[in-house]
Amino acid sequence: MMDLLRTENLTKKFGELIAVDNISISIAEEGILSIIGPNGAGKTTFFNLLTGFLLPTEGKIYLKGEDITNMQPYDIVHKKLSRSFQISSYFPEFTIFENIQMGVLNRFNYGYNYFTDSGQINDVNKETEKYIDMLDLSDMKNMKAKFLSHGDKKILDIAMCLTLEPEILLLDEPTSGVSGNERMKVIHFIGDLAKRMKIIIVEHDMDIVFSISNRIIVLSQGAILADGTVEEVRNDKNVQNAYLGGKVEGGNQDVNSGKSK
């Protein structure tokens, strides 16, 4: 079986600092893969490399066997790999409807249409409504995105990725800064998505990571410290010593409180 996503000796240096150090992994087609590690471990840099936001210093990235190492973000997105951002990324002055519509317009190839009113394209509107319903935001669809709550902004960010019908979705700290009930909303949403596509997630909250992941990769100082199932990682001596702070029982630890590099 071909790997969905594979990296070979992926390395990124910022001057003297090695942010991502020689990472070679292959990622299977299903389930949720979590990437954890202390602040500065290279998680986000790794994401940025995978999605073409940064170019690697060395190494290769293959998506379904195709070399995507030097591709631009907008080309990679068309290869069905999509991402959300640590700080929710959306269009604040647009309504929710318009935010979602932007992705649909691209998937339907309307980007270079100069003279059709963008609100009057029926197939796009219908598809956009579909996502709005899925988000459970129908009664707020004409609200500007900047007025949304923090959790809803996170969901909007993820929903915008979905409009391109990705096969792999990379989520960068989808619950950071989201509190209480809203956090559960985001997690349920991600759980539902995992039934339809591969999800790779960077997350600080260990409760969440241990409850939803099929596989966990632990990064430390840019390199892989551990890689395995939830149980394997939880019981890994290196991981415990490095920053989980000894034996983890309920997984009630936040990586933020661990040692940084």
Partner 1 sequence: MNTQYKLLNDPFLYLFIFFSIFPFIPILGKHISLGTEVLIWFLYALSFNLLLGYTGLPSFGHGAFYGVGSYVTALIYLRFVGNSRNIFLPLLASILVVGILSYFIGFVIRNKRGIYFALLTVAFSQVLYIIAFKWTEVTGGELGITRLFRGQFLGINLESSIRYYYFVLLIAFLGSIAIRKITLSPFGKVLQSLKQNETRVQYLGYDSAKYCCYVMTISGTFAGLCGGLYCMLYSSVFADNMHWIKSGDVVIATLLGGGMTNFYGPIVGSSIFILAREILSSVWDNWVLLYGFAFVLIILFMPTGLLGIFGKMKEKKHFEQFNNNKNR
How far, in Å, CA of 201 to CA of 32, rounded?
7
Q: Please name the residues in contact with 192: beta carbons below 8 A apart, sequence gap of 6 or more.
A: none
- Of the candidate spans 31-39, 86-94, 232-240, 241-249, the one that interacts with partner 1 by CB under 8 A turns out to be 86-94
Q: Is 70 in the site for partner 1 (CB under 8 A)?
A: no
Q: Is 139 in the site for partner 1 (CB under 8 A)?
A: yes
- Which CB sits closer to partner 1, 155 or 160? 160
Reading across the β-sheet that carries 223-228, which strands appear in turn? Answer: 81-83, 168-172, 198-202, 32-36, 215-220, 223-228
Task: Report the nearest approach of partner 1 to the CB of residue 163 (Å).
Answer: 8
- Which CB sits closer to partner 1, 6 or 78? 78
Among 147, 179, 254, 256, indicate the residue that binds partner 1 (CB under 8 A): 147
Q: Which two tokens stand for residue 127?
A: 């598809």
Task: Report the nearest approach of partner 1 to the CB of residue 62 (Å).
Answer: 20
Among 163, 175, 213, 221, indicate the residue that binds partner 1 (CB under 8 A): 163
Q: 3-class SS at 164?
A: coil
Q: Is 181 in the site for partner 1 (CB under 8 A)?
A: no
Give, in order, the Cα–Cα distances in Å from 83 to each of 89, 98, 167, 198, 208: 10, 19, 11, 12, 19
Q: Is 18 in the site for partner 1 (CB under 8 A)?
A: no
Phi/psi-derived region of residue 69, left when phi > 0, alpha when psi is between -120 and 50, beta in every other case:
alpha
Residue ranges in contact with partner 1 by CB under 8 A: 51, 53, 72-74, 77-78, 82-83, 85, 89-94, 98, 101-103, 105-107, 110-119, 121, 139-140, 143-144, 147, 160-161, 163-164
